[in-house]
Structure 1
Amino acid sequence: MSPTSNLYRAARPAFRARAFFFRPKPQTGARFQSTTASGPQSESWVKRMWDSPVGLKTVHFWAPCMKWALVLAGISDFARPAEKLSVTQNGALTLTGLIWTRWCLIIKPKNYFLAAVNFFLGMVGIVQVTRIGLYHQKQKRLAAEGKTEEIVKS
């Protein structure tokens, strides 16, 4: 008989007993904990996110992940000159972001991840619309100054 088979034969009763694997953990400070508090703490973060109503297997998680691309695209447009930006596009992004931020806090279940991405989308839109507005205001001022110079010369 080989030593491995003796070890196997000696350990077999321990592996058959379920209590060997599932011993209750000793609780420290049990008088300050409720019995309901031990359930969610024992689950891993991945398990809680998987089972959450706004978790990893739902559209409530993946839609905001994809919407961050719009925020990043808006941020990348900060480098573009203001005359090449579209007022209607950035206005639509601003309104969409602000309206949906409020909506995400009203719906059940509340989706703070989606509210965050919509808030940042609204903020990026406000910055871009402000840049466009300031550019057009500057162009009008320069045009008005140019016309007054022509009047003074004539």
Structure 2
Amino acid sequence: MSSSSSSRVGLRFFQNFRAAFQSSNNSHSHFRRQGFFRARRFQSTDAGASAHEQQHQSTFQRLWNSPVGIKTVHFWAPVMKWCLVITGISDFARPAEKLSLTQNAALMATGAIWTRWCCIIKPRNLLLAAVNFFLGCVGVVQVSRIFMYRRSLKGTTTTTTTTEEAATDIAIATEAKDVAEGVASKVESVVKTS
């Protein structure tokens, strides 16, 4: 906004204010007749609109004029945050050993803290509370998967390691035996032909 247009707004406000007080009838009804209180340009919401006017608004108009409506950041921030929830849900298909405990713990804590905060702040933003609740749920599921995976590793570490090592040793010995028999047969065939 340029300085000339802001000075015009200030000038209009001052002129309306002076005209209202210079008239002979200084009662509040005079202000209402002149439209003084309705002419304020600095209101961000329709706080001056009557309940009757709000009832006749369409659903789109109520959504548009709401303090958490489409034209505010209070609507678009939760819409964009759903991408985090969808990404977390897509990570359900990943193996637990490839998940980050710190990242998912942060998502869980963020979801829990901001869900509570969204119900306290003004304007109360239930759309943001919903997305944070689901973000916390995704974090809880992923952290649970990580802990269950790590617990299963602790219980089977010694038996799995020895079983896997024994199977690997047997496979190597069998392969070495086959290679040795193949080399021995080739040496015998070379010795017989010479």
**TM-score where L is the length of structure 1:** 0.69
Instruction: Indicate whether 1:101 and 2:115 are aligned.
Output: yes
Indicate which of 49, 55, 58 corresponds to 1:41.
55
Structure possessing the higher radius of gyration over alpha carbons:
2
Q: Which residue of 1 aligns with 2:182?
A: none
Q: Which runs of 5+ in 2 are unaligned?
A: 1-49, 164-194
Q: Which residue of 2 aligns with 1:138?
A: 152
Partner Cα separation in structure 2 for residue 133 and residue 126 of structure 1: 11
Q: Which runs of 5+ in 1 are unaligned?
A: 1-35, 150-154
Instruction: Indicate whether 1:91 and 2:105 are aligned.
Output: yes
Q: Which residue of 2 aligns with 1:23?
A: none
Q: Which amino acid aligns with 1:87?
A: L
Partner Cα separation in structure 1 for residue 97 and residue 59 of structure 2: 47
Q: Which amino acid aligns with 1:123?
A: C
Indicate which of 55, 63, 88 corresponds to 1:74.
88
Q: Deviations over 1:12-47 (max 9, x none)?
A: xxxxxxxxxxxxxxxxxxxxxxxx764323101111
Partner Cα separation in structure 1 for residue 98 and residue 77 of structure 2: 29
Q: Which amino acid aligns with 1:72?
A: I
User: Would you say how many aligned residue pairs link Structure 1 and Structure 2?
Assistant: 114
CA RMSD in angstroms comes to 1.7
Partner Cα separation in structure 1 for residue 117 and residue 51 of structure 2: 31
Following superposition, the deviation at residue 148 of structure 1 comes to 9.0
- Which structure carries more relative contact order (alpha carbon 8 Å, separation 6+)? 1
**TM-score where L is the length of structure 2:** 0.56
Runs of 4 or more consecutive aligned structure 1 residues displaced over 2 Å after TM superposition: 36-41, 144-149
Identical aligned pairs, as a percentage?
63
Partner Cα separation in structure 1 for residue 158 and residue 112 of structure 2: 35
Q: Which amino acid aligns with 1:92?
A: A
